[in-house]
Amino acid sequence: MVIVTDIAGNQAPLLVSDLHVTKQLNQVEQLDFTTVNIPENKQAYEMVQARSLFTVPETGQVYRITQEDGQSLNDYYQKSVTALQVIQDLDEHLVKTTIKGNQSLDAVMKFITAGTKFTYTIHDQVPNHNFTDEIGRSRALDLFNESVISAFGVEYTANGYHIDLYKSIGKKNAFVFIDNNDIYSLADSADYTPIRTHIYGEGPTGDNDKPKFTADYTSPKSSVYGVIDTDIYNDDTAKDKNDLINKMKANLVDSPSIQYTANLNRFAADNNIADKLNDLALGNYGFVRSRQGLDEELRIIQIDLYPQEKSKESTVTFGNFLLNPAQLIADLNSNKAQAAKEISGLQRGQSNVKEQLAKGITTILDGEIDD
């Protein structure tokens, strides 16, 4: 059940099934569910229209409808609904003016949220950012993602119309998950296309329209993956060559994107000690150990919750797992040595077969047959 609020402000409890909440780091939270116009649900069902809001009782979080798909279901009609957390409403607000130059995070947030119902809290000290080009004349959500999240390098959580901003959300040593104990299935996926090991950068432009200084940086991981160029990096705010190199290092993605997804066991006892020790908040860091040798600190970047489905377990996605280049090389060399032994063994076996064939002898399980 969720509470539906229509565009007139009327509220009613809406009977739903398959309620699913997807929480991702620095992404707008998503709600999905199914509802049917059975007699006891008819009034609330008809309130599911454009601009409707849904409140999930278990969390108090509020979502605005973005999409629905319907189909007949015997004598009734069923809707599959998707809604986004109301921070999405920033997309409806146009910022008509512009600002530029050295700006604080607070100044930019005031600029973006002026004239809206949104409030915010900045929890950490965040350095100012110098906007060499004007920002504004755009929708507030785009400005929030580009001029706040990307420019200042911060992370956020949203609760209703309030936004909390941090340098980094989550905490260290928040959980220890063990495969076949807390976890009943563990899967991984890897994307190797982002790997880049060399970057060339240019600092601010001088009077001659040329950069005042340039720099090259090659990642140590080039010894593993080779030299792979990325796009030219430009930064008009770099103070000197060393500052430019440090920013280039931070910008370079020199590892594959490897994520682990875990289906968590639902413990029968509400007071199970594992549930108390493991804090499943988005952004938290902890350790995951598997029977396949994984024993690493990972970060929660996505949580799939089913707060009203007792038969469905929560799913947690961890990323990004960073390969240790030295360990990778050691593993490759170890595999190479083992492969060499296996190849040598196969070659010896082939020589024996050739000798037997030359003698006209075929070896079988029960002995040999002399032709």
Q: What is the per-residue pLDDT for 328?
A: 45
Q: Which of 240, 248, 241, 242 is nearest to 197 (CA)?
A: 248
Question: Is 80 exceeded by the pLDDT of residue 140?
Answer: yes
Q: What are phi and psi of 242, to 5 degrees?
A: -65, -40
The CATH number of 93-166 is 3.55.50.40
Q: What is the per-residue pLDDT for 320?
A: 64
Whether residue 21 contacts residue 328, with contact meaning beta carbons closer than 8 Å, is answered with: no
Mean pLDDT over residues 235-264, rounded?
88
Mean pLDDT over residues 121-148, rounded?
96
Band of pLDDT at residue 298, cut at 50, 70 and 90: confident
Q: What is the per-residue pLDDT for 364?
A: 43
Q: Which residues pair with 299 in a beta bridge?
A: 285
Instruction: List Cβ<8 Å contacts ≥24 apart for 103-111.
Output: 103/128, 103/129, 103/130, 103/131, 104/128, 105/129, 105/148, 105/152, 105/154, 105/165, 108/135, 108/143, 108/147, 108/148, 108/151, 108/152, 109/148, 109/163, 109/165, 111/136, 111/143
- Whole-number average pLDDT of the chain: 85
Band of pLDDT at residue 186, cut at 50, 70 and 90: confident
Model confidence pLDDT, tens digit, residues 12-70: 999 999 999 999 999 999 999 999 999 999 999 999 999 999 999 999 999 999 999 99
Instruction: Please give the share of the chain, as a percent, with pLDDT higher than 90.
Output: 62
Q: What is the per-residue pLDDT for 237?
A: 85
Question: Is 70 exceeded by the pLDDT of residue 340?
Answer: no
Distance from C-alpha of 367 to C-alpha of 355, rounded to nearest angstrom: 16
Distance from C-alpha of 371 to C-alpha of 359, rounded to nearest angstrom: 9
Mean pLDDT over residues 340-349, rounded?
58
Q: What is the per-residue pLDDT for 215?
A: 97
Q: What is the per-residue pLDDT for 26?
A: 95
314 vs 197, 221, 263, 278, CA distance in Å? 36, 35, 6, 13
Distance from C-alpha of 110 to C-alpha of 108, rounded to nearest angstrom: 5
Q: What is the per-residue pLDDT for 1?
A: 97
Burial of 14 (0-12, 13-18, 19+ CB in 10 A): buried
Question: Is 60 exceeded by the pLDDT of residue 332?
Answer: no
Q: What is the per-residue pLDDT for 219?
A: 94
**Can you say whether residue 293 is alpha, beta or left, with left for phi > 0 and alpha for psi between -120 and 50 degrees?**
left
Question: Is 50 exceeded by the pLDDT of residue 143?
Answer: yes
Question: Is 80 exceeded by the pLDDT of residue 334?
Answer: no
Number of residues that make up the chain: 371
Q: What is the per-residue pLDDT for 366?
A: 47
Q: What is the per-residue pLDDT for 270?
A: 42
Q: What is the per-residue pLDDT for 260?
A: 80
Band of pLDDT at residue 178, cut at 50, 70 and 90: confident
Distance from C-alpha of 247 to C-alpha of 241, rounded to nearest angstrom: 10
DSSP characters for 144-211?
A: IIIIIIIHHT-EEEEETTEEEEESS-S-SS--EEEBTTTEEEEEEEEE-TT---EEEEE--B-TTSSB
The label of the residue with tokens 């070659």 reads 347
